């Protein structure tokens, strides 16, 4: 996700006016089970500006559950299977051409969607004699998946793609890979009765829920359908419409409050305002007993039997429900923060590093903390609030929220923060949330700090003293090696050996 960085390295501030027009974000509106979802994929250009407010072109995806008949279920599965066949064929072709290219460099290797599509059209009568039974979009969807996977792999190797290295694409196996197919051309419609949708070759399908959220925008002329993607999850079929929407972006939400948000396992979020902490739904933890029983039952089933298929379907539904509960809690929290407060301050957590702790990995994964900042990024933009992201090394938990004293070490077992300078005793999560809130206030009052030759903030900190950068062994107490006395919340402490 592309995100602009402003100010010193300790902060990443996201403001309504500073977000890029090509900012890639994601959104889901109307969560849980069968409710309609809206996934914002990209922001378009600002097309109108009036007194601080703007109309922005946003690409969203509205997802609805389907109630297909038995015949329509077979047609949906057939299209997903055709996409999988085209994907595997394209990947096998690329691997074979790569081997031939090493022997004879003049042999071309199809790497893009147009090249793969040309080769497919030449050989589809031999590879898949039944190709006419499905829409051409099914095969194009599978080939597009190969082209995207190859591009991600090559960009990752060359350094153009950020993040963890991407491996070479692998073949998809029936029953293992996710069933999905994308339509970009043809009759893609949301019918006026708001209970049915239409897809190429498959025809008219009944939706499990009302499509009024999307139908209203289509009737008003503020939305345009670009594509439709069908997918199967826990033996239920869904359709996701990728839509260009004209969305009103307010200049401000009229709120002046600043809230610091400290997330964790015990509580999903602790706010600096002193409100009741948001409880963690613990969706997976509440289903562990049932999951263990069903996994034992699955191990006793004969492979390929009907009862084994039924048990697998029950397992998938439990996992799906846990994911829906987790997603619903995150969306309710982030929407409340973006609407009720003018500035929201969160931490930039290293989730990938935290889950390496095998004792906390399952509990951390069950909270879904990685999506919190991801959701707040676009919701604060949509609702007119601001998002401030503190650096991952900012000591919000170890810093006293009253005087600014920094504790050298604070273990996870210590749930109460005790300040040795002013004697404050406070819950560690609430203390961290208050420090995050003060962080935004300090930035708003003093602006972005400059640094001197020693790398220390020139402006004084909250306690009125400049942050110190000491060599190892020069702490102000003999037993506190390298401890900084009073630090501005915007500075990062780096011990030098």
Of 119, 137, 179, 429, which one is the catalytic site residue?
Answer: 429
pLDDT attached to residue 16:
37
pLDDT attached to residue 169:
95
262 is catalytic: yes
Alpha-carbon span 140 to 183, nearest angstrom:
9
Q: What is the mean pLDDT of residues 368-372?
A: 87
Question: Does residue 192 sit in helix, strand or coil?
Answer: coil
Of 29, 137, 179, 347, which one is the catalytic site residue?
Answer: 347
Contact 266, 432 (CB under 8 A): no
Local confidence band at 432 (pLDDT 50, 70, 90 cut-offs): confident
pLDDT attached to residue 51:
56
Alpha-carbon span 20 to 45, nearest angstrom:
9
Q: What is the mean pLDDT of residues 393-409?
A: 85
pLDDT for residue 441 is more than 90: no
Alpha-carbon span 424 to 401, nearest angstrom:
9
Dihedral sign, Cα of residue 209, residue 215, residue 217, residue 218 = positive
Buried-exposed string 278-293: b where 16+ CB fall within 10 A, e elsewhere: bebbbbbeebeeeeee
**pLDDT tens profile 466-483:** 333 333 333 333 333 333
Alpha-carbon span 117 to 151, nearest angstrom:
16
**pLDDT tens profile 225-262:** 999 999 999 999 999 999 999 988 888 888 888 999 99
**pLDDT tens profile 308-345:** 999 999 999 999 999 999 999 999 999 999 999 999 99
Per-domain residue ranges of the chain: 11-16+254-389, 70-180
99 is catalytic: no
Beta pairing class for 343-347 and 258-263: parallel
Buried-exposed string 437-470: b where 16+ CB fall within 10 A, e elsewhere: bbbbebbeeeeebeeeeeebbebebbbeebbbbb
Tokens read off for 489: 């919340």
Local confidence band at 38 (pLDDT 50, 70, 90 cut-offs): very low
Alpha-carbon span 466 to 59, nearest angstrom:
46
| More confident call, 152 vs 356 | 152
**pLDDT tens profile 78-87:** 999 999 999 9
pLDDT for residue 123 is more than 70: yes
Alpha-carbon span 97 to 120, nearest angstrom:
14
**pLDDT tens profile 192-211:** 999 999 999 999 999 999 99
429 is catalytic: yes
pLDDT attached to residue 237:
95
Of 29, 119, 262, 449, which one is the catalytic site residue?
Answer: 262
């Amino acid at each position: 996700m592309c995100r602009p960085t402003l100010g010193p390295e300790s902060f990443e501030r996201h403001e309504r006016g500073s977000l890029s027009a090509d900012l890639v974000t994601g959104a889901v509106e109307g969560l849980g089970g069968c409710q309609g979802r809206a996934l914002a994929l990209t922001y378009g250009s600002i097309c109108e500006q009036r007194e601080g407010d703007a109309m922005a072109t946003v690409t969203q995806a509205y997802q609805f559950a389907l109630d297909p008949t038995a015949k329509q279920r077979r047609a949906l599965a057939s299209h997903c299977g055709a996409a999988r066949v085209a994907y595997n064929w394209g990947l096998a072709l690329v691997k074979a051409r790569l081997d031939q290219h090493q022997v004879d460099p003049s042999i071309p290797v199809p790497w893009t969607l147009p090249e793969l599509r040309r080769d497919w059209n030449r050989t589809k009568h031999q590879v898949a004699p039944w190709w006419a039974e499905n829409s051409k979009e099914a095969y194009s969807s599978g080939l597009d998946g190969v082209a995207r996977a190859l591009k991600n792999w090559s960009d990752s190797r060359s350094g153009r793609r950020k993040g963890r290295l991407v491996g070479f694409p692998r073949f998809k196996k029936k029953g293992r890979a996710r069933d999905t197919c994308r339509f970009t051309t043809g009759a893609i419609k949301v019918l006026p009765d708001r209970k049915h949708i239409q897809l190429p070759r498959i025809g008219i399908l009944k939706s499990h829920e009302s499509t009024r959220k999307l139908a209203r925008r289509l009737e008003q002329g503020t939305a345009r359908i670009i594509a439709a993607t069908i997918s199967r999850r826990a033996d239920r079929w869904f359709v996701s419409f990728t839509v260009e929407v004209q969305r009103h972006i307010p200049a401000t939400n009229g709120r002046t409050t600043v809230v610091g948000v400290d997330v964790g396992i015990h509580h999903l979020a602790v706010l600096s305002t002193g409100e009741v902490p948001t409880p963690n739904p613990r969706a997976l933890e509440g289903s562990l007993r049932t999951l263990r029983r069903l996994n034992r039952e699955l191990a006793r089933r004969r492979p390929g039997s009907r009862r084994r298929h039924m048990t697998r379907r029950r397992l998938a539904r439990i996992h799906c429900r846990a994911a829906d509960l987790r997603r619903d809690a995150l969306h309710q929290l982030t929407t409340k923060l973006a609407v009720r407060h003018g500035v929201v301050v969160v931490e930039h957590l290293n989730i990938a590093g935290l889950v390496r702790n095998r004792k906390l990995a399952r509990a951390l994964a069950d909270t879904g903390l990685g999506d919190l900042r991801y959701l707040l990024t676009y919701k604060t933009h949509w609702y007119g609030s601001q998002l401030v992201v503190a650096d991952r090394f900012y000591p919000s938990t170890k810093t006293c929220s009253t005087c600014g004293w920094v504790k050298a070490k604070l273990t996870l077992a210590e749930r109460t923060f005790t300040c040795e300078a002013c004697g404050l005793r406070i819950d560690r999560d609430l203390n961290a949330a208050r420090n995050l809130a003060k962080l935004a206030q300090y930035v708003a009052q003093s602006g972005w700090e400059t640094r001197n030759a020693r790398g220390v903030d020139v402006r004084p900190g909250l306690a009125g003293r400049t942050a110190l950068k000491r060599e190892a062994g020069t702490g102000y107490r003999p037993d506190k090696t390298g401890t900084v006395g009073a630090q501005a919340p915007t500075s990062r402490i780096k011990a030098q050996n």
